[in-house]
Structure 1
Amino acid sequence: MGYKKGKKMDLKELITRSQAIRTRYHELERANHGTEWTIDEDLLALSNDIGNLDRLVMTKNGRYYDETPYTLEHKLAENIWWLIELFDRLDVDIESELKKFLTEKEQL
């Protein structure tokens, strides 16, 4: 199920790949710290990445000079990855909630 350039991924594949990567990170957390990160620590990491994303957007708009080694595109994708992780850890069905959210917005 590997990704091929030009191939579009569906939401299920994005979720599955994200979960597999996060499982490997949990292994590293247990090896290095004895336990997995908590949901609060995951949320803190997302918050930090949102701050990095904000600086990259400001840099793109000429309002800030960002020195991080990341690109805007990378941070956008990473923030989506963190959100998928939070949906999973909080036991919320991302597909169902996205459909519900989009339907509500379309009706407005």
Structure 2
Amino acid sequence: MDLKELMERSTAIRNRYHEFERANHGSEWTIDEDLLALSNDIGNLDRLVMTKNGRYYDETPYTLEQKLAENIWWLMELSDRLDVNIESELEKFLAEKEKM
């Protein structure tokens, strides 16, 4: 599966969440609220990594793999909402790193 298809699927899922947010809160989450959700999920990911390394105890209902994928999903969603072509920017980033 390519990045474009993943982005399309991600957007479709996020649109369903927006429907839920409007129904339950009267409006969609803001970009800041999305970023807060990502920050929370990064904290969960950190605890799962620490657990994997024997430095913490597992208290989350998620797996390391699930939370890693969810963080990527949030980044894709934020790039879409911020009108950033993440595929193009990732290509530029990788090209710069390869030159180094």
TM-score, normalised to structure 1, is: 0.92
What residue in structure 1 maps to residue 75 of structure 2? 83
Mark the runs of 5 or more structure 1 residues left unpaired by the alignment: 1-8
Counterparts of residues 17-36 of structure 1 (less than 5 Å): 17-36=9-28
Q: Distance in 1 between matches of 2:84 and 2:52?
A: 34
What residue in structure 1 maps to residue 43 of structure 2? 51
* Greater than 4 Å deviation, 4+ residue runs: none
Which secondary structure state, in structure 1, belongs to the residue aligned with residue 28 of structure 2? coil
Which is helix-richer, 1 or 2?
A: 2
Q: Percent identity?
A: 86
Q: Distance in 1 between matches of 2:70 and 2:37?
A: 10
Paired amino acid for 1:83 = L
C-alpha deviation, 1:106, in angstroms: 0.5
CA RMSD of aligned residues (A): 0.4
Q: Distance in 1 between matches of 2:59 and 2:52?
A: 12
Paired amino acid for 1:100 = K
Number of equivalenced pairs: 100
TM-score, normalised to structure 2, is: 0.99
CA deviations on 1:23-70 (whole Å, 9 max, x unpaired) are 000000000000000000000000000000000000000000021100
Which secondary structure state, in structure 2, belongs to the residue aligned with residue 66 of structure 1? coil
What residue in structure 2 maps to residue 107 of structure 1? 99
Q: Distance in 1 between matches of 2:42 and 2:94?
A: 23
Which secondary structure state, in structure 2, belongs to the residue aligned with residue 48 of structure 1? helix
